[in-house]
Structure 1
Amino acid sequence: MRSYLIIGMCVLFLLQYFLKMQWLEYSVVALSILAFLGSAFKADKFPRLLGIIMMTLGLVIEWNKGTGIAGISDGIFLILPLISLITLAPLLSIPLRLGGFFQSISVLLKNLLLQPKKLYAGITGTLFFLTPILNLGSVRIINEFLDELKLPSALSAKGYLVGFTTAVIWSPYFASVSLVLHYLNIPYKDYIIYGIGFSLLSLIIGNLLFVIWLKRHPLTEKSSDEKILIEKIHQQHLVKLMFFVISLIGSCLVIEYLTNWSMIVIVCLVSIIIPLLFGIQSKRWDELIPRLVDFRDRTVLMLNNEIMLFMSAGMLAFAMKGTAAANGISDFLTTLAHQSFLLFAIAVMVIVLCITYIGIHQIAAVGALAMQLNAAELGISNISLALLLLLTWSISTGLSPFSGLNLMVSRFAGISGVQTGLRFNGLHYAVIAIIGIGIISLIG
C-alpha cells in the first residue's frame, strides 16, 4: 500500500507540472504528508529522529511567518520534484541489469585486481559513469563485485568516495544538481560544461593523489598468475554503457532545449520511458515485468530514510527563507563577498560542513543558501554561485560521517565514518576545495 502511495505521489506531481491545477497540487501535498508519516514508522532511528525535528522546526517557523497552510503546502510541494527524482531514477538500473552490463563491469574490475593503480582508476571511472544514473546503488553494486576479493579498507574508502562524489557536481539525476539549478533558475544546458569539467578534474586529482599515497603505503599484492580475459562481448558492453550514459544526458539536454521543461521533470519522465522502450525493443517482458514488480515492492519501500530526510530538510530550508537568522547569514556572506571572494567561499564551505557534520542534510543547508543568496548582490554570476554550492555539497557528502554515502562506505570498509571521510579523503577534498575556489573566482 505504501509503495502505491509513494508512486502515486510522483505520478500526480508530474501531472500537476503540466496541468497546473490548484486542487491537484493540494492532493499531491496530502499524499506527500501521508508518505512522510508512513516512512516515519519504517525509517531507521536516527533519520526518523532527525526528520521529525527538521519537519517540526520547518512547520513551526513557516506557521510563525504567517503564511499558514498555503505556505506549508508550498514548502512541501517545492521538495516534491526531488522526492520524485530519487523514487523514479532507480528504474534506469533495470535495463542495465538485464542487458548484462554489470557482469562486464565485474570482469573488468577483477581483471585489474593485481594492479592497484589501474584498479583504483577502474573503480573511480566506473562510478563516474554509473553513479549519475544509479546514485548510491552504484556503490552497492561495485562492492558486490569486489566483496569476495577483500580489498584493503583504504582502497575501498578512497575509491568509493572519490568516484561517487564526482556525480554530485554534474549529474541531472542527482538531487544536488537538480535542487541548486532549480533554485537559482539556471538551465542545465548552460551548466553542464562547467559541472563535467569540475567532475573530471576531481577524478584526475583523486587518481594522482592515490598514486602518491600508494608510494608511501604500498598495498600487499597477492601472487597469482590468473588473469581474467575480457572477452569481446564484455568490451562491447562497456562501450555500450558509456554510450548509454552519454545518450541519456544528451536526450535530457535536447528535451530541455526543445521544451524548456524543468530538468527534474525530464529526468523523471526519461526514467519511466527507458525501461518501457527496453521492453518494446527487446521483447523480454517476461524478465522486465518481475523487475518492475520488484521495484514497486522492494526498491520504493527502501526509501524511508530518504523521504524522511529530503522532505523534512526541504521544508526546513524553505521555512528558513526570509527569517531573521537566514537574512543575517545572507548579509554576513554578502559583506564577505564584497571584501574577498576567497573569504566568502571559505565561509560558505565552513557553514555547510559544520551543519552537515552534525547530521543535518545538505538539502537544508545548501538549499537554504541557494534560496537566500543573490548572485548579483554578491558580485558573481549565477554559474559561479551554483558551482560553489555544488562543490560544497560534494565535499560535505564525502566528509560528513552522517551522509548516506559515508555511512554505506564505512560499513563496507569496516571503519568509522570519520576515518572514511577525514582520514582517507581529507587531503583530496582539501585540494579540490582550494583548486575549485581558484577556478570559480576566475569564472567570476
Structure 2
Amino acid sequence: MDQKTISTLPLSTRVTGWTLLLMLLLSLITALTHAVPDYVAGAPVWLAAALLIRRQRPNQLIQSAVLLIAGATGLAIGVYQGVDHRYLLKALAANQLVIAMLIGVSFLRIVAIRGIENDDRLPAGRKPLLRTLFGTHLIAAVINISSVMIVGDRLTARRPLSPLQGLTLLRAFSICACWSPFFAAMGVVLISAPGAQLSTLIIYGLPTALTALLFSAWQIARHPDAVETQGYPMHFAALWMPLLLAILVLIAHLYLPQLSVITLVTLISILFTLIYLLLRQPKDCARLLTTHIQEGLPKMGSEVTLFLAAAVLASGVAALLESLQIRLAPEHFSAPEASLTLIALVGLALIGMHPVTSAVLAGSILMPAVSDPNLLGITLLLSWSIGVGLSPFSGVQLSLQSRYGISAIALMKLNRIYGPVMLATGFAVLWTYSAISG
C-alpha cells in the first residue's frame, strides 16, 4: 500500500495502529524496567478495542462481549465481597504482554512475504503437497495465520482451493501451537501456567508436532486426489527466517533467563525486522513500517478484543472463586487429571469456545492444585493445537470457510481419524512426562 492509499484510511484506523504501537512500547518498558505499572501499559489496549469495534464481525463481537460481561460480573461480586483489588488491576492490564507479543510478531510479516515467490508455477503431486505442509508449518510458526492467507491466496490464483489443500494448510497451522514460541498459544500458556519452562514445553511439544505432521503427511499422500492437487513452491528464502528466529529465542532465553519468553519474542521480532529492513531496504524502511502500523496493526482487532476480554474473564473468575471460597480444582493435578482436562478443553473447542478463553479459564481454576506447571502447560498447548485443528468454529477454519469456500463438513470428514489419533498421542505425552518428571 502506497502513502497516498494510506492517507485515505479513516483517521480512527490510523490512530488505532499508533495506539497499539504505544501499548507495545509501554509493555516493553514495563517488562524491562518495571517503571510503568502493568495496568498503565494495558490502558491503550482498551482505547484500541473501542476504536476497533466497527471492524469486528458480529459473532466475534458477541463472543467478546459475553466474556467481558461475565468477567465484569465476577469482579463486581468479588470486590463487593471484599477481595483484593489486584484482580481489578489484572483485568485493566488486559493481557498486554501477550498482545504486545502478537503485535511484535506481526512485524515479521514484512520480512516473510519478501521471501515468498509469487511468480513460480504451482507444482502438482504428493511431494509438492508435503513440501507445502512442512514449509507452511515453519512459516506459520513465526507469522501465525498470515501464512495460511499468503499460501492460500497463491494456491487460489487460478482455481478454487480444494478440501485437500485446505486440510494441508489447516494442519500446518494448528500443529504450530504444540511448540512455537512465536505462537499466541505459547504466550497465553506461559501466563496461565506461571512457572512453566519454555525449554520443557518445546522438548515435549516438538516430538508431538512431528508426530502430527507425519500422520498428516501420511493422510495427505494417500488421498486419491493427491496426485493431481497443486502444492506451493517452497524455497529456502521463505524458510530460513523461522528457523533462525526460533534459535535466537532459545539462545536469548538461555543467556537472559530473567526476561520472560514473551518479552524476548517481542523484542527479537521487532529488532530482527528493523535490522533486516535497514540492511536490505534502507530507503523503504520507514514507509514499510508506517504502512504496517497504520494499515496492518488495526487488522488485529479480533485478537486484541478477545485477549482483553479473556483477561477480564480470568480476573473475574479468580475474584469470584476467592470471594465465595469455592475450590473447583482437584486435590492433585497429575497425568489422569491432565488427560481429563485435555478432553474437556478439546470438547469446549468443538462447541465454539476460543482456546484463549479455555486456556485462561483452565489456568485460573486449576493452578491452586498444580504442583508442576509444566504438566499444565503441556496440557494447554495440546488442547489448543488439537482443538483448533478439529473445531469448525476455530479462527483458521472459519477463515478457510469464508475466504476460500472450504466446506466445514468436508474438513470434519478429513479429520475423523486425526482427532482420536492426536488425543491418544496427547495422553501418551502427558503420561510420559509425568513418569519422567516423577
TM-score by length of 1: 0.84
Shift of the alpha carbon at 1:269?
0.9
Equivalent residue number for residue 308 of structure 2: 311
Structure 2 Cα separation of the partners of residues 270 and 173 of structure 1: 10
Equivalent residue number for residue 84 of structure 1: 100
* Contact 1:78 1:314 survives alignment (8 Å): yes
Root-mean-square deviation (Å): 2.8
* Contact 2:350 2:392 survives alignment (8 Å): yes
Residue 7 (structure 2) pairs with residue 10 (structure 1): no
* Contact 1:85 1:267 survives alignment (8 Å): yes
* Contact 2:161 2:406 survives alignment (8 Å): no
Partner deviation per Cα, 1:213-269 (whole Å, 9 max, x = no partner): x1xx445738x9xx99x8xxx8xxx33544322221111112112122111111111
* Contact 2:71 2:313 survives alignment (8 Å): yes
Equivalent residue number for residue 165 of structure 1: 174
Shift of the alpha carbon at 1:162?
1.0
Shift of the alpha carbon at 1:58?
0.7
Partner deviation per Cα, 1:377-427 (whole Å, 9 max, x = no partner): 568x4333322221111111122222211111123442343543x222232
One of 433, 437, 442 as aligned partner of 2:423: 433
* Contact 1:91 1:272 survives alignment (8 Å): yes
Equivalent residue number for residue 59 of structure 1: 72
Partner deviation per Cα, 1:61-104 (whole Å, 9 max, x = no partner): 02211247642221242611111122221111212333xx2007
Structure 1 Cα separation of the partners of residues 426 and 254 of structure 2: 28
Further displaced range: 146-155 or 82-91: 146-155
Unaligned runs of 5+ residues in structure 2 are 1-14
One of 50, 61, 64 as aligned partner of 1:37: 50
Structure 1 Cα separation of the partners of residues 287 and 138 of structure 2: 26
* Contact 1:95 1:278 survives alignment (8 Å): yes
Equivalent residues in 2 for 1:273-284 (5 A)?
A: 273-282=271-280, 284=281
Structure 2 Cα separation of the partners of residues 120 and 55 of structure 1: 42
Shift of the alpha carbon at 1:280?
2.8
Q: Which amino acid aligns with 2:246?
A: I
Q: Which amino acid aligns with 1:352?
A: L
Residue 208 (structure 2) pairs with residue 194 (structure 1): no
Aligned residues: 413
- CA distance 1:149–1:194, change in 2 (3 Å): farther
TM-score by length of 2: 0.85
Structure 2 Cα separation of the partners of residues 88 and 166 of structure 1: 21
Equivalent residue number for residue 405 of structure 2: 414
Equivalent residues in 2 for 1:282-293 (5 A)?
A: 282=280, 284-293=281-290
Structure 1 Cα separation of the partners of residues 339 and 255 of structure 2: 38
Equivalent residues in 2 for 1:286-435 (5 A)?
A: 286-321=283-318, 323-324=320-321, 329-331=328-330, 334=331, 341-342=335-336, 344-374=337-367, 377=369, 381-420=372-411, 422-435=412-425
- CA distance 1:68–1:326, change in 2 (3 Å): closer
Q: Which amino acid aligns with 1:191?
A: L
Structure 2 Cα separation of the partners of residues 409 and 79 of structure 1: 27
- CA distance 1:317–1:126, change in 2 (3 Å): same
Structure 2 Cα separation of the partners of residues 153 and 72 of structure 1: 48
Structure 2 Cα separation of the partners of residues 346 and 196 of structure 1: 19
Unaligned runs of 5+ residues in structure 1 are none
Structure 2 Cα separation of the partners of residues 47 and 199 of structure 1: 29
- CA distance 1:388–1:71, change in 2 (3 Å): closer
Structure 1 Cα separation of the partners of residues 405 and 205 of structure 2: 32
Shift of the alpha carbon at 1:132?
1.1
Q: Which amino acid aligns with 1:314?
A: A
Shift of the alpha carbon at 1:28?
2.1
Q: Which amino acid aligns with 2:295?
A: R
Residue 137 (structure 2) pairs with residue 123 (structure 1): no
Further displaced range: 49-58 or 363-372: 363-372
Greater helix proportion: 1
- CA distance 1:96–1:26, change in 2 (3 Å): closer
Q: Which amino acid aligns with 1:140?
A: M
Structure 2 Cα separation of the partners of residues 126 and 219 of structure 1: 17
Q: Which amino acid aligns with 2:101?
A: L
